[in-house]
Amino acid sequence: MNNIVSLKWLLARLYETDLVIVDCRFQLGKPDFGREAYEASHIAGAVYLDLEKDLSAPIDEHGGRHPLPDITDLTIALSKVGISNETRVVAYDDQGGAYASRLWWLLKYLGHEQVFVLDEGFTAWQNAGFPVNAEQKTLVPARYLATVQHNMLIEMDEVKEKLGAEHITLIDSRDGARYRGEVEPLDRIAGHIPGAINRLWSEGKGEDGKWKSADEQAARFEDLPKDQETIVYCGSGVTACPNVLALQEAGFTKVRLYAGSWSDWISYEENPIAVGEE
């Protein structure tokens, strides 16, 4: 797998100087949870980046619940924790890889090649007896220059233009009940973008909590054409990222993230909404 590294892979490279390990733990509705968890205990040498303070912009009228961060602000945040263009980055969380995948996607979007998500996450690392501590790493700032990959992103108006087009696959990464509009715990309107199919992001992991292999990911998406554009969204653009990663592992090359996702889509009153199965 190209984007996932194992616990043992990281253990073998833990103290290499060109490696930055980023703790991305976070919990919706508990904004201080991740930082407090990090300060209590983290993988030895890890730094912390916060989903809402570092990896998102402030909420506005449009853009969804976790708008993409301003590029300049993001490069400053990366530079502060010692990430340069040459750094190998390993991101982890304890939430199935959702938040680590957000950092993975953002770095890929900035043109960064050497970025990986740690398989299984923090608890598995700790349970394996691998090094954890509460020490704050002395941060040596680096210089980060972004080369933005605009083709990885799609905005609301372009999604809307493409509704109903035959050469597009639109994937909703939320659970089935939210997709069908039966429940909506987070957003003010339930349903999905018309024409979207449902592929729950967490099905990219096996029952053992590990990411599925490239072949298993390919099997998840075997009914979808690899050669056409695939657009992925979720509620706020976060849990779509593990699906983007899984699609890449499965060999899809034309994958774009609708970062504003459902919470952005419904901020435009004129946008159409679908409920039930497609």
Q: Which residues contact 261 (CB under 8 A, 6 or more apart)?
A: 64, 233, 234, 235, 236, 237, 240
CA-to-CA distance for 86 and 132, rounded, in angstroms? 25
Angstrom distance (rounded) from CA 90 to CA 11: 11
Which of 234, 240, 244, 246 is flagged as catalytic?
234
In this structure, how many other beta carbons lie within 10 angstroms of the beta carbon of residue 269?
6
Q: Where are the alpha helices (DSSP H) in 43-196?
A: 71-80, 98-109, 122-127, 156-162, 176-179
Residues (pLDDT < 50) of the chain are: none
- What is the number of other CB atoms lying within 10 angstroms of the CB of residue 223? 8
Task: Locate 13 and state its tokens.
Answer: 């490279």
Contact (Cβ atoms closer than 8 angstroms) between residue 250 and residue 146:
no
Report the pLDDT value the prediction gives residue 270, as an integer from 0 to 100: 97
Pairing of strands 229-233, 168-172: parallel
pTM: 0.98
The count of other CB atoms within 10 Å of the CB of residue 274 is 16
24 labelled catalytic: no
Q: Is 29 exposed, middle or buried (0-12, 13-18, 19+ CB in 10 A)?
A: exposed
pLDDT in the model for residue 178: 98
Per-residue confidence (pLDDT) for residue 137, from 0 to 100: 85
> Which parts of 110-255 fold into alpha helices (H)?
122-127, 156-162, 176-179, 214-220, 240-249
